[in-house]
Amino acid sequence: MITHRPPTVKARACRTVRRALSLRHNMNIVTAMWKTSTTMAMTDMTNSVSPLLNLRILVLTLGESHHAGWWKSQFLSHTGLSFLEHVYPRSTFAAAVRSAGRAARAMHDANVGKGDVFHLFRLPREMERQVDTTLTEHSQALQTQYHPLLEDCAQLLRALEVLAGDAPARSSVGPMRLSAKPGQWAPSIAAAYWQAFRDGTQVFPYFEVEKTNL
């Protein structure tokens, strides 16, 4: 006859530790896979469309009233897109970006001014034209790419962090002057907004560019 002895306290403790380590290992794998897939998705997007356009979409979405509430609009949400789809069936996402962009532009203009001062929502004329053209041409593809992220603040922030790359981020409030050449604006702007959204503050990054440099 075989007698089964109950496990000792030490044995139960060992099993508990092993389960905890296994769970932690699995969570680390899941986290790594999520970060990798998000990074790959953002890399695919930035290879096909302007980084400034991707950056504009991310900041607009995070700044709307269903997230940080920097501007009172909800165009870049599932509800907002459903509404706009009836009016702009072929360019729903482009219409959402432009509509939210008007609110963001007005707020940034009020804080940093106009003239030779530029920001994410008021770029130099040629850059603005290129961004808008890309938005028009890729509207449906962008909607497919971003639709799963619109209500997920954590993934939006992660995507913003990917665009920031190695650009230094520092905490700031209000207008924030950045120094970079026009072709290198995206990482600096992304880092500034990423830090602000994490801190729960409002920041308005801008550049002063001489006309001869545009």
* Residue 90 counted as domain residue: yes
From 31-45, 82-96, 135-149, the region with the lowest mean pLDDT: 31-45
Question: What domain range is 208 assigned to?
Answer: 50-213
* Residue 5 counted as domain residue: no
* Residue 36 counted as domain residue: no
pLDDT at 203 over 90: yes
**Which pLDDT score is estimated for 184?**
76
* Residue 142 counted as domain residue: yes
* Residue 44 counted as domain residue: no
User: What percent of the chain clears pLDDT 70, i.e. is strictly above it?
Assistant: 72
Average pLDDT over residues 152-164: 95
Place of tokens 């950045």: 178
* Residue 68 counted as domain residue: yes
Report how many domains make up the chain. 1
* Residue 20 counted as domain residue: no
pTM to 2 decimal places:
0.75
Tally: H helices and E strands in the chain: 8, 3
Average pLDDT over residues 100-108: 96
The band of 208, judged by pLDDT with boundaries at 50, 70 and 90, is confident
Mean pLDDT taken over the chain: 80
* Residue 199 counted as domain residue: yes
